[in-house]
Amino acid sequence: MNSETKAKIDKLVNENKIMVFMKGSKLMPQCGFSNNVVQILNTLGVPYETVDILADPEIRQGIKEYSNWPTIPQIYINGEFVGGSDIAIELYQSGELQQMVEVALAS
């Protein structure tokens, strides 16, 4: 990944309390895993931003290197990589995701 792509990802991750790199958008997810994450965050009723990796090939590849995580979607809360769809579901079911989001939004 080039330094320009890294800087772009850094900016997105650090300027948004909850950032999701996904296929499609929160209004129109383009895969089931991305849709799972959108549904969870919508259920929590929290503000979040998304980046459609399908619209930007550099981000699509760069985010995988950035997080050292091979799959999409990827969720960042307060600048920290949380995981993908399966991890979001587990954290949501245990109540941990709600706590992480509340801490992030309070800071």
pLDDT digits (tens, 9 = 90+) for 19-67: 999 999 999 999 999 999 999 999 999 999 999 999 999 999 999 999 9
> Could you read off the pLDDT of 66-105 as tens digits, one per residue?
999 999 999 999 999 999 999 999 999 999 999 999 999 9
CATH number at residue 99: 3.40.30.10
Give the pLDDT of residue 19: 98
- Per the CB < 8 A criterion, the answer to whether 47 and 18 are in contact is yes
- Per the CB < 8 A criterion, the answer to whether 30 and 23 are in contact is yes
CA distance 46 to 5: 27
Torsion over CA: 46, 51, 53, 55 (sign):
positive
Q: What does pTM read for this prediction? A: 0.95
Domain count, the chain: 1
Owning domain of residue 78: 3-106
